Each structure stands twice: as C-alpha cells, then as structure tokens.
C-alpha cells in the first residue's frame, strides 16, 4: 500500500476493524493465484502491488481492485472514511481480543528481511533452539504484538537454526526476541534491541514503542533502487518469476546502463 496511506494514523485506526493481509506476491504460488483472481491489469500479468477490500468470507469485492488505494481515494482521510463505513456494515460478532491470534510470521528470515526492507519496517525475530521453546517465546510475545501501539508496525519471523542468523549483526540472546533494522536491500540487518525469553512484557512494549517512534522511514525511488542493486550485483530471485511490466522494464533499463 502507498506509504502516504499506510502510515496515516486515520487509516491505522480504521484498520483495527479489519483483517489486514500483506500478500507475498511472487514468493507464494497459492497467494499469487489468489491475487491474480482479484486483479489483473491491462498487461494481464500478476502485478507486484494490489489493493482491495473484501467481505469477511473473501468472496466479494467491497471496493474496486487496483494497484494502490491512491487510484480510487483522494487521500488517506478519504480511505479511512470508506473503511469506517464498510466496517459498520460488517460488525464484529464478538470480542476476539488475543484469542486465536498468532504472530503474523513471514515464511523465513531471509524473506522477512526483504519484506521489512521493502515495507520500511523494523523486523522482530523470535529465536529458540527447538519448536517447544520457540512456541513459548511466540506465545509470550502475542499480547505485546497486538497492542494498539505495536500492531502493524513490525515484520515478524521465527528462527531455530543459528545459520539463518548469519546476516544479523549484534545478536547475543540464544532464546528470546530480536528487533532488527534491515539494510537497504533486505539482505542483512543489525540488532536494535534484544530480550531474553523471560523479559518483562511491559519492558518489551516500551522499547518497541520507542523504536517505532525513532525508526527511520527512508523513502525509496523504485528505479534508482533497482539501478543501485544492479550496480552492486544484487538481484532477488523470487519463487515465481517476476511479471510486473514496470519492474521488469526497470531492471532491463538498469542492466542496459551498466
């Protein structure tokens, strides 16, 4: 979603009455097929950004689908107003609180770093040595992750293999929570804060709120970002070949200038 909408406080508040899903686009075949069923541009190909609001059963489009909410709403306030109206038509049947909610985990740390860098968000990684311990760490973090001041402000991943953490600088805890700032291209990251598994949840919450307030929101130009990556010999290979015409053309132009 366009940053001017995504980080607007009115939209953030309105989104609390929705299930917000960040699709993996070219990193998951099933999600790619679902996204394509929602929207196809004039190219007929899967685009790397799609926006739509759907009914609770995900069978009916409640808004037009497109590349960005910017195509259909004047500004963030206009989108927030539309979301409030839609939410009033689908009232919640019960207070779910934290029941049934897990952490919104990305498939693995490598992809999570890339997603966090792309979305301009810090990354939270839960770490443990086995599934039982990891489940305990994740469960202890859930009430913090879904606090109003924290929800939607981080990307999440879980790790049990130390080798996965090689791109991360500054990790000390063996079991607990890492808060990471990804590098420009989402290939590595540095630890901003870390907590052992028995850390006080209120201390974690306070630290995360401070990180949210201070985290640098770096604006990126798509074309210049692609050119810089090509010059450095960096090129992300997705699970599904990229088909967005704008992205493909940007890479071709960047390679042609080498």
89-133 pLDDT, tens digit per residue, is 998 776 555 545 789 999 999 999 999 998 889 999 999 999 999
Domain closes at, from 56, 89, 122: 89
Residue 41 lies in a domain: yes
- Whether 34 and 63 map to the same domain: the answer is yes
Overall domain count for the chain: 3
Q: What is the pLDDT of residue 231?
A: 62
SS (H, E, C) the chain: CCHHHHCCHHHHHHHCCCCCCCCCHHHCHHHHHHHHHHCCCCCCCCCCCCECCECCCCCCECCCCECCHHHCCCCHHHHHHHHHHHHHHCCCCCCCCCCCCCCCECCCHHHHHHHHHHHCCCEEEEECCCHHHHHHHHHHHHHHHCCCCCCCCCEEEEECCHHHHCCEECCCCCCEEEEEEECCCCCCEEEEEEEECCCCHHHHHHHHHHHHHHCCCCCCCHHHHHHHHHHCCCCCCCCCCCCCHHHHHHHHHHHHCC
- Whether 29 and 126 map to the same domain: the answer is no
Domain closes at, from 59, 89, 119: 89
Residue 201 lies in a domain: yes
- Whether 120 and 83 map to the same domain: the answer is no
- Whether 73 and 52 map to the same domain: the answer is yes
Per-residue confidence at 167, pLDDT binned at 50, 70, 90?
very high
Residue 103 lies in a domain: no
Domain with 145 in it: 109-214
Q: Which residue has the higher pLDDT, 244 or 145?
A: 145
- Whether 136 and 52 map to the same domain: the answer is no
- Whether 116 and 55 map to the same domain: the answer is no
- Whether 116 and 199 map to the same domain: the answer is yes
Q: What is the pLDDT of residue 47?
A: 80
Residue 104 lies in a domain: no
Q: Which residue has the higher pLDDT, 174 or 4?
A: 174
Residue 101 lies in a domain: no
Q: What is the pLDDT of residue 169?
A: 97
Residue 9 lies in a domain: yes
- Whether 182 and 162 map to the same domain: the answer is yes
pLDDT over 50 at 221, yes or no: yes
């Amino acid at each position: 979603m366009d940053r001017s909408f995504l980080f607007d406080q009115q939209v953030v508040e309105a989104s609390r009455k929705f299930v917000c899903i960040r699709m993996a686009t070219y990193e998951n075949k099933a999600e790619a097929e679902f996204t394509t069923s929602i929207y196809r541009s004039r190219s007929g190909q899967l685009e790397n950004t799609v926006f739509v609001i759907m009914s609770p059963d995900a069978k009916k489009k409640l808004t037009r689908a497109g590349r960005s909410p910017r195509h259909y709403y004047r500004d963030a306030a206009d989108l927030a107003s539309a979301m409030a109206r839609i939410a009033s038509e689908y009232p919640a049947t019960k207070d779910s609180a934290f029941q049934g909610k897990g952490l919104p985990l990305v498939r693995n740390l490598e992809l999570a770093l890339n997603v966090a860098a792309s979305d301009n968000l810090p990354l939270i990684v839960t770490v443990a040595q086995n599934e039982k311990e990891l489940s305990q760490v994740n469960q202890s973090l859930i009430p913090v992750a879904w606090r109003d001041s924290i929800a939607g402000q981080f990307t999440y991943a879980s790790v049990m293999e130390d080798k996965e953490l090689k791109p991360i600088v500054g990790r000390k805890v063996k079991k607990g929570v890492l808060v990471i700032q990804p590098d420009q291209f989402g290939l590595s990251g540095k630890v901003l804060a870390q907590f052992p598994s028995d850390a006080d949840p209120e201390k974690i919450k306070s630290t995360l709120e401070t990180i949210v307030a201070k985290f640098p929101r770096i604006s990126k130009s798509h074309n210049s970002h692609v050119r810089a990556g090509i010059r450095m010999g960096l090129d992300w290979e997705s699970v599904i070949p990229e088909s967005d015409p704008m992205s493909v053309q940007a890479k071709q132009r960047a390679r042609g200038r080498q």
